Amino acid sequence: MSKVQWDLSDLYNSADDHKLGHDLQEAKTWARKLEGKYASRVRLLNKTELLTLLGELESIEEKLQRALSFAYLNFATQTDNPSAWHLWQKSREDVSQIREKLDFFAIEWGYVSEEQAGTMLSGELLEFFGHYLGSQKKFHNHRLSLSEEKILSRTRISREKAWQDLYEDMIGDMKVGIDNNALSQSMHKLFRPERSERQLAFQDISTAIDKDLHVHSHILNSLVTNKKEIDRIRNYTDWLEERNLKDETNVDLVRVLVDCVSSRYDIVQMYYQLKGKILGLEDLSVFDRYAPIPSPKYSEVPWSQARDNILASWRDIAPYLAEIADQFFEKPWIHACLKPGKLPGAFSHPTIPKAHPYIFLNFKATFHDSLTLAHEIGHGIHQYLSRERGPLQSQPATPLAEIASIFSEMLMLRYLQDQAQSEQDRLFLYCQQIEQSIQTLFRQVSLHLFEDLVHSNVRKKGRLDSYTLNELWMSVQRDLFFGQSLILQDGYSSWWTLVPHFFHFPGYVHNYALSELLVLALINRLEEMGSSFIPLFQQLLCAGGSTTPEQLLKPFHIDLNDPSFINEGLNFLDDLLAKAMTIQKRLQPETNNTTPTDT
pLDDT in tens, 220-256: 999 999 999 999 999 999 999 999 999 999 999 999 9
419 and 564 within one domain: yes
260 and 137 within one domain: no
Find out whether 287 and 201 touch, Cβ atoms under 8 Å: yes
The model carries a pTM of 0.93
257 and 115 within one domain: no
Is 375 within a domain?
Answer: no
21 and 132 within one domain: yes
Domain boundary among 124, 143, 162: 143
Q: At what angle do helices 466-481 and 213-233 cross, to 10 degrees?
A: 90
- CA distance linking residue 226 with residue 230, whole number of Å: 6
- CA distance linking residue 264 with residue 577, whole number of Å: 13
542 and 414 within one domain: yes
Question: At 292, is the secondary structure helix, strand, or coil?
Answer: coil
Is 428 within a domain?
Answer: yes
Is 234 within a domain?
Answer: no
Q: For the domain that residue 408 is a member of, what is the CATH number? A: 1.10.1370.20
133 and 16 within one domain: yes
Q: 421, exposed or middle or buried, with CB in 10 Å at 0-12, 13-18, 19+?
A: exposed
Is 350 within a domain?
Answer: no
Mean pLDDT of all residues in 476-504 = 90
554 and 433 within one domain: yes
258 and 138 within one domain: no
- CA distance linking residue 475 with residue 472, whole number of Å: 5
pLDDT band at 599 (very low <50, low <70, confident <90, very high): very low
Is 156 within a domain?
Answer: no
Is the pLDDT at 292 greater than 60, yes or no? yes
Contacts 24+ apart (CB under 8 A), 192-200: 192/291, 192/292, 193/291, 193/292, 193/294, 195/281, 195/288, 195/291, 195/598, 195/599, 198/287, 198/288, 198/290, 198/291, 199/285, 199/287
Residues in the chain: 599
457 and 575 within one domain: yes
Least confident of 143-152, 223-232, 532-541: 143-152
250 and 124 within one domain: no
Domain boundary among 126, 143, 160: 143
pLDDT in tens, 315-346: 999 999 999 999 999 999 999 998 888 888 89
Question: Which residues partner with 181 through β-bridges?
Answer: 176
Residue at 325: amino acid letter: A
Q: For the domain that residue 84 is a member of, what is the CATH number? A: 1.20.140.70
Find out whether 563 and 256 touch, Cβ atoms under 8 Å: yes
Residue at 388: amino acid letter: E
Question: Which residues partner with 243 through β-bridges?
Answer: none
HSE-CB for 372 with a 13 A CA cutoff: 19
How many domains is the chain built from?
Answer: 2
- % the chain with pLDDT above 70: 98
**Strand (E) or helix (H) holding 349:** strand 347-349
Angle (CA) 355-357-363 rounded to 5° is 145
Is 20 within a domain?
Answer: yes
567 and 449 within one domain: yes
Find out whether 269 and 484 touch, Cβ atoms under 8 Å: yes
Domain extent, residue 90, equals 8-143
Domain boundary among 143, 161, 193: 143
Is the pLDDT at 203 greater than 60, yes or no? yes
- CA distance linking residue 538 with residue 469, whole number of Å: 43
Is 17 within a domain?
Answer: yes
First-to-last C-alpha distance (Å) of the chain = 34
Question: Which residues partner with 512 through β-bridges?
Answer: none
Is 369 within a domain?
Answer: no
pLDDT at 482: 65
518 and 409 within one domain: yes
Is the pLDDT at 595 greater than 50, yes or no? no
* Strand 347-349, strand 181-182: pairing: unpaired
pLDDT band at 258 (very low <50, low <70, confident <90, very high): very high
